[in-house]
Amino acid sequence: MAKTLSFTDTSPQTVKIGDTTTSFTLVCGNDNVATDLTNATSITVKLGNASGYLKSATVDPAKLTDPTTGQVTVEFNADLMTSLPAGSYAIEVWVVDSTGTSIYPSDGSTGFTITNNIQSANGSTITTITFDDFVKAMNKAASTIAKGDKGDPGPTGTVDNAGLTTAPAFVELQTQVQNSAVGTNLLANSNFSSGLDYWGFSSGTKSDGKAIVTTDSDGNTCVHITATGNACGLYCSPVSFNQNQVTTGSVLVKGTGELIFAGLEGRPNSNFGTVSTESYSKVGSTMQAASTTNNFCIYFNSVNGVIDVYIKFAKLDLGSNPTDWCPNPTEILTQSDYAKIKAAIVSLGGHLS
């Protein structure tokens, strides 16, 4: 029997960028006969595109209007819409019950569309382009320069890296990133999608701590930290700060452990949030930065001799309020950024179509 996933007759199948009130209603079925979700213990909706998996959202089985109809409502709120550009997407529903995990649909995937809003067209809102498109364009540019194709400067031979990084377009882009305002995530690889790149690990007072990058039940990349001692966790080096700049560090945590702080090392701090063994909760610290670069740390003490926590979506904000997680600006490429990079490539004798 094939598992099927379809939209209800009244459900939209398109949402515009910036619309955080639209909901999709899907029906999980077997050969298009609705599945009874009464015994479901967890429901996860996963989104992807031609490149593969992108992100997911959980649906509380207890909040299903009528689980016998197999209907699952997906709310496209701000968290789900963040960093998704206009384009075609695939959607799957993963249902866990006492018999195991069922993935709807079992053949292929069900599609939906994110479209630009009117501001996207006139430039007031800048939309992102896919990483795959950027990689293809950069590979093409590099190949044209390496072959010595002629541009307005004439033959170039090989890439002039120094010239590229000092080109006005790149300098302007770098300045914009450095002048990012409140709400910007100052941490690189804050969702651990590149493993522990940019991060170090402190094994704790008993030197038996371990940190393993894995995938949790929500489909998110996370870090599983275990130890029997205290002061165990991760650290990384962010940008320099102005004297006494107020910052807020935060991270989603689940498991057993007591937060020492999630923020800048060696600074007076005020913690918030409580670590739960049942589900992820946001914890963190507010503190003033030093005048020089501080390490950003996420450290835990043991509870009854045990640290066993999962962490994901680390963030360091300017200001005293923890905002929703987002990637570091250097990890997001916008159409405006792409235009600046293209201008720099052309100035070195390459070209982008």
Range of the domain at 295: 200-327
Instruction: Evaluate the omega torsion of the peptide bond into residue 105 and state whether it is cis, within 30 degrees of 0.
Output: yes
Query: What is the arithmetic mean of pLDDT over 237-250?
Result: 80
Tell me what pLDDT residue 170 has. Answer: 58
Tell me what pLDDT residue 237 has. Answer: 79
Query: What is the arithmetic mean of pLDDT over 6-35?
Result: 92
Question: pLDDT tens for residues 175-215?
Answer: 554 444 457 888 989 999 999 999 999 999 999 999 999 99
CATH, residue 310: 2.60.120.260
Centre a 10 Å sphere on the Cβ of residue 264 and count the other Cβ atoms it contains. 24
CATH, residue 44: 2.60.40.10
115 shares a domain with 161: no
Instruction: Work out the angle at residue 338's Cα, subtended by the Cα atoms of residues 115 and 352, and round it to the nearest 5 degrees.
Output: 110
Tell me what pLDDT residue 179 has. Answer: 45
Distance CA 320, CA 312 (A): 21
113 shares a domain with 152: no
Q: Which residue has the higher pLDDT, 171 or 130?
A: 171
Q: How many domains does the chain have?
A: 3
78 shares a domain with 116: yes
Q: Which residue has the higher pLDDT, 351 or 195?
A: 195
220 shares a domain with 240: yes
Please tell me the least confidently modeled range out of 80-89, 147-156, 218-227: 147-156
Query: What is the arithmetic mean of pLDDT over 249-267?
Result: 94
Greatest CA separation for the chain: 70
Question: pLDDT tens for residues 287-321?
Answer: 988 877 788 999 999 999 999 999 999 999 888 88
Does residue 174 register a pLDDT over 60?
no
Distance CA 173, CA 166 (A): 11
Helix (H) or strand (E) run with residue 352 in it: none
Tell me what pLDDT residue 148 has. Answer: 47
Ordered DSSP codes for 99-135: TEEEEE-SSS-EEEEEE--HHHHHTSSPPB--HHHHH
Residue 16 located in a structural domain: yes
Question: pLDDT tens for residues 95-118?
Answer: 999 999 999 999 888 999 998 877
Residue 114 located in a structural domain: yes
Query: What is the arithmetic mean of pLDDT over 25-47?
Result: 94
Distance CA 100, CA 286 (A): 42
- Of the ranges 153-167, 269-283, 320-334, which is most confident? 269-283
Centre a 10 Å sphere on the Cβ of residue 161 and count the other Cβ atoms it contains. 9
pLDDT band at 125 (very low <50, low <70, confident <90, very high): very low
Tell me what pLDDT residue 135 has. Answer: 54
Tell me what pLDDT residue 145 has. Answer: 57
Tell me what pLDDT residue 127 has. Answer: 46
90 shares a domain with 105: yes
